[in-house]
Amino acid sequence: MTVLAAHFRVHNVRLATYLDDWFVVDQNKQMLLVDREKVLNLLLNMGFIINLEKSALTPTQNPVVHRGLVQATKGGSNAKHSTKSKK
């Protein structure tokens, strides 16, 4: 997972990861949507299974509650999504 996250960061995709949860952020909604597709496509091509029921794939500027922590998404930070590996 660390190698994949590093790959995205090298390609200017802003994200935060925690275990199998990934948060993709960008101040520009259009760029966020492009980055979201890049992440989803590569993860799917690598064999990951994305749990769409637990995923939030629609950009939002609302605070995100995650495992008891609240992350403020001020300044245009948007969206999160989760992944599960089938391996």
Contact 83, 24 (CB under 8 A): no
* pLDDT tens-digit map of 59-72: 887 756 555 554 44
Q: Please, where are the H alpha helices in 1-87? A: 2-10, 29-45
Residue 55 tokens, joined:
């995923």
Which of 55-68 are b and which e, b meaning 16 or more Cβ less than 10 Å from the residue's Cβ? Answer: beeebeeeebeeee
Total domains in the fold of the chain: 1
pTM (predicted TM-score): 0.67
Statement: residue 16 has pLDDT above 90: no
Contact 8, 46 (CB under 8 A): no
| Whole-number pLDDT of residue 13 | 93
Mean pLDDT of the chain: 78
- Boundaries of domain holding 60: 2-85
Statement: residue 81 has pLDDT above 70: no
Taking residues 47-65, report their average pLDDT: 82
| Whole-number pLDDT of residue 77 | 44
Statement: residue 55 has pLDDT above 80: yes
